[in-house]
């Protein structure tokens, strides 16, 4: 996982927290989109004051786990996070230019086991967070065993130990917790101070390998899929088949805002553009 949303937002607030609609409401929610980008784009991410100080809680952070160590820049929202990474020699997923990650978070402990019990094509990885003084189980991550693309889906499930550290009681840990309730427990009465609410949709251009991977993900997680999009709860992944592509391309990320904002167009870098209109905004990758 390339995501430290809860940790970063708790730190921020105390110093001053879909896969879409399938056959039924899903018990997982879109939590993070990450992408590995060029250094010049990474450097420019926080250069615009509206982007950095009005739209997003913006942080750069280094994380060390039992499987990886990485630094990223984060646009943190009320219910989701967008993460940007630099290419690295670590050779993990997320370290290669144009790697794209879509991470979901389960609402209840046990969801991943229930998926794995009926599907032999998935596996669960345990990820421990480490520091100089401690190591504890952070989360479990469910993924497809085989993936030959630069796109990775994963479903994360926080450990009971992590949830206790975030303020959950034993009874709350046993229940299914909606994102709104999760934030109430973790952040208390602290009001989210920016305008980014949640991730509404993304658009991908996919080759044949990418399309097959999307179909496997939809089948494994029981998401709704048709010729234009995959959906889980209120989150959609739009896709277009382009057979000659060497790899999958992320075209844009659409986000919901907490309130109406005037129309605005901002060139964050030569390759990244932000469009704002009313209660939505779109990050375009040019």
Cα–Cα distance measured from residue 38 to residue 85, given in angstroms and rounded to the nearest whole number: 9
Q: Are 150 and 100 in contact (CB under 8 A)?
A: yes
Give the global pTM. Answer: 0.91
Q: Is the pLDDT of residue 55 over 60?
A: yes
Q: Report the pLDDT value the prediction gives residue 14, as an integer from 0 to 100.
A: 37
**Residue 182 in tokens:** 């999760």
The model's confidence at residue 37, banded by pLDDT at 50, 70 and 90, is very high
Q: Report the pLDDT value the prediction gives residue 121, as an integer from 0 to 100.
A: 95
The model's confidence at residue 22, banded by pLDDT at 50, 70 and 90, is very low
Stretch among 123-137, 166-180, 245-259, 260-274 having the lowest mean pLDDT: 123-137
User: Per mean pLDDT, which of 17-21, 106-110, 132-136 is the most reliable?
Assistant: 106-110
pLDDT in tens, 74-119: 999 999 999 999 999 989 999 999 999 999 999 999 999 999 999 9
Q: Where are the alpha helices (DSSP H) in the chain?
A: 5-15, 39-44, 49-50, 111-116, 160-166, 170-174, 179-187, 208-221
Q: Report the pLDDT value the prediction gives residue 173, as an integer from 0 to 100.
A: 97
Of 275, 267, 253, 274, nearest to 198 (Cα)?
A: 253
**What integer is the mean pLDDT of 130-144?**
91
Q: Is the pLDDT of residue 5 over 70?
A: no
């Amino acid at each position: 996982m390339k995501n430290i949303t809860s940790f970063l937002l708790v730190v921020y607030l105390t110093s001053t927290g879909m896969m879409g609609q399938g056959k039924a409401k899903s018990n997982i929610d879109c939590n993070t989109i990450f992408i590995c980008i060029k250094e010049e784009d990474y450097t420019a991410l926080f250069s615009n004051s509206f982007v950095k100080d009005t739209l997003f809680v913006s942080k750069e952070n280094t994380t060390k786990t039992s499987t990886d160590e990485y630094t990223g820049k984060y646009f943190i929202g009320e219910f989701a996070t967008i993460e940007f990474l630099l290419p690295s020699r670590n050779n993990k997923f997320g370290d290669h230019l144009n790697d794209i990650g879509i991470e979901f978070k389960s609402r209840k402990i046990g969801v991943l086991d229930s998926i794995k019990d009926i599907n032999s094509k998935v596996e669960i990885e345990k990820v421990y967070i480490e520091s100089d003084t401690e190591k504890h189980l952070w989360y479990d991550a469910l993924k497809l065993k085989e993936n030959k693309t630069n796109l990775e889906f994963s479903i994360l499930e926080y450990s009971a130990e992590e949830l206790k550290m975030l303020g959950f009681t034993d009874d709350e840990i046993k229940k299914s917790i909606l994102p709104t309730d999760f934030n109430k427990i973790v952040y208390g009465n602290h009001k989210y101070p920016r305008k980014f609410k949640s991730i509404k949709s993304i658009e991908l251009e996919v080759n044949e390998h990418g399309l097959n991977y999307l179909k496997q993900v939809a089948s494994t997680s029981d998401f709704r899929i048709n010729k234009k999009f995959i959906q889980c709860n209120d989150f959609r992944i739009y896709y277009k088949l382009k057979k000659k592509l060497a790899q999958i391309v992320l075209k844009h990320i659409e986000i919901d805002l907490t309130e109406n904002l005037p129309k605005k167009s901002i060139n964050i870098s030569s390759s990244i553009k932000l469009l704002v209109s009313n209660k939505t905004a779109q990050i375009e990758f040019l």
